[in-house]
Structure 1
Amino acid sequence: MNGPRIHLSVAPELRLFVPSAYRDGRTELVTDGTSTLGHVVESLGVPLTEAGRLVVDGRPVAVSHIPAEGQRVDVLGHERPQPVPGAPLRFLLDVHLGTLARRLRLLGVDAAYESEDIGDPALAALSAKERRVLLSRDRGLLRRRELWAGAYVYSDRPDDQVRDVLGRFAPELAPWTRCTACNGPLLDADKDSVGDRLEHGTRQTYDVFAQCSVCSRVYWRGAHHARLVGIVDAAVAEFGPDAPGARR
């Protein structure tokens, strides 16, 4: 390119996306004089889902801004919690984030999940159709134009992934209200009404049950309950309505 030279700085949390030459403070970049700032940012490797405010010479600009000679450009990250247009806040997770989907559902967060690889175009279209924030570790998927809203999941560890999503979007938590298998609402279930779905030992040992209103799966406080309680309690303590710094 042989166009305007701009002086670009990328927020520290976004520097993992860009080449090493652009990770240390402000760097000169030659543009083509016709591309929008949004295109320039994406060409460096930063999905626009991850870019917060774009600031030129101290003034916020739109992604459609065309950089001019000598401008100082700052690509900032999102403020947290990040507002999402419309309501209610719902998520869609790609095929690689099954554990995160189950954790979010455990916390009562509406988290649709595709257990099979339906392809990037279909996922992006589903995000737009259902107005869901698409969560993915696939940077290319997050750059698709038909996407309604999206977010990069920065860690490959489920515990960190949950904290990242809850801290970024501050969804309302309602633990134990969603089916971890299909995302459907859970309803209290009478023992007699679900008895034919239970093993003999379970019928003899437990008395409190819930059942998914969509897939009919039955839940009770089994051997793994203590571990799940730990996950729920930790999330509520840090991100629930009474947590320090919670959005009111």
Structure 2
Amino acid sequence: MFFGGDLPRFVPRSTPGGEVQYTLGRRASIKDAIEALGVPHTEIGSLTLNGQWTGFEALLRPGDRVLVLPPLPPVDVSAASVLHPVPAAGLRFLVDVNVAKLARMLRMLGFDALDDPDADDGALAARAAVEQRVVLSKDGGLLKRRSVVWARYLRADHPGEQLREVVRFFGLSRYSTPFSRCLRCNEPLVPVAKADIVHRLLPKTKRYYQDFSRCPRCDRLYWRGSHHAHMQRWLQELCEEPCFGARGRLFSGSTTFSGNSAIAAKTR
């Protein structure tokens, strides 16, 4: 078996060129063999068996030669492939507790990102399957579960670098709608008239800001606070290419936002 890209990191006994000999002790599929060597099936972009494209369920025989390659970014989970004949419904994430800070960061970019710190691996895998969510984790055991179809084993350790990795790997800058979700609840924000919530605003907020949004679940209020420009610059640097916000506007330091794309602040 030959592992390309950065996949040898999962296979401690591979050669510097990514080659490893696998001894068939029983009837085994390619998926069984690859995961026995340490590589979660979610980290594989393509497989060839004796020079022919193949899927995870192909059975191995003595003398077979298998080439295992990682996906090529940006990965489109909505596109069918040999390994994923049924595409995902869209870019919706399920964030494991070991990379928990990613959930809030992805919501800041406008993506549906759930987290459930109390759920075990079985519950996370089941939810990912039912809701067709992309799992983000540093737990190889979770990603080897058959019910987990789309996922990313994060290579980076720092939350900011993890977010950059996810943005690049899935090409998220094309779909970003910054500041359109509640950072706490993950719910899409809805515009709210200032007159309807003016009694909840502090004097300076009431005086200087006109456009507001509200979370329909937790009732948290959002608007363009003084830190809005700083957050815009940070997100722009993160994407390293133009990010498009709500209504197709280019997301940059000079862009103004209104309605459901305002940055968060809250007054009770």
Normalised to the residue count of structure 2, the TM-score between the two structures is: 0.78
Deviation for aligned residue 1:224: 3.1
Match of 1:96 among 88, 95, 98: 98
2:114 is aligned to 112
Deviation per residue, 1:138-176 (Å, 9 max, x gap): 111111223243221221222221222122222411112
Whether the 8 Å CA contact 1:107–1:173 is kept in 2: the answer is yes
Quick check: 1:22 aligned with 2:5?
no
Structure 2 CA distance for partners of 1:126 and 1:196, relative to 1, 3 Å = farther
Whether the 8 Å CA contact 1:124–1:148 is kept in 2: the answer is no
Deviation per residue, 1:27-58 (Å, 9 max, x gap): 33322251111101001110000012111222
Quick check: 1:55 aligned with 2:48?
yes
Between 42-51 and 101-110, the greater mean CA deviation after superposition: 101-110
Contiguous gaps of at least 5 residues in structure 1: 1-7, 244-248
1:5 is aligned to none
Quick check: 1:38 aligned with 2:31?
yes
* Counterpart residue type for residue 75 of structure 1: V
Separation in 1 of the partners of 2:97 and 2:105?
15
Separation in 2 of the partners of 1:179 and 1:23?
47
Separation in 2 of the partners of 1:141 and 1:73?
24
* Counterpart residue type for residue 228 of structure 1: M
Separation in 1 of the partners of 2:203 and 2:115?
32
Quick check: 1:189 aligned with 2:182?
no
1:214 is aligned to 217
Deviation for aligned residue 1:24: 1.3
Separation in 1 of the partners of 2:101 and 2:115?
10
Structure 2 CA distance for partners of 1:197 and 1:142, relative to 1, 3 Å = farther
Normalised to the residue count of structure 1, the TM-score between the two structures is: 0.84
Structure 2 CA distance for partners of 1:224 and 1:175, relative to 1, 3 Å = same
* Counterpart residue type for residue 15 of structure 1: P
1:3 is aligned to none
Between the two proteins, what is the percent identity of the paired residues?
Answer: 38
2:156 is aligned to 155
SS at match of 1:49: helix
Deviation for aligned residue 1:193: 2.0
1:230 is aligned to 233
Whether the 8 Å CA contact 1:125–1:146 is kept in 2: the answer is yes
Structure 2 CA distance for partners of 1:27 and 1:88, relative to 1, 3 Å = closer
SS at match of 1:92: strand
Deviation for aligned residue 1:235: 4.3
Separation in 2 of the partners of 1:236 and 1:174?
12
Separation in 2 of the partners of 1:226 and 1:126?
36
Match of 1:79 among 72, 77, 81: 72
* Counterpart residue type for residue 159 of structure 1: G
Contiguous gaps of at least 5 residues in structure 2: 78-86, 245-249, 252-268
* Count of residue pairs brought into register by the alignment: 234
Separation in 1 of the partners of 2:211 and 2:146?
47
Whether the 8 Å CA contact 1:187–1:213 is kept in 2: the answer is yes
SS at match of 2:43: coil
Quick check: 1:65 aligned with 2:55?
no
Whether the 8 Å CA contact 1:166–1:239 is kept in 2: the answer is no
- 1:115-126 matched pairs, under 5 angstroms: 116-126=117-127
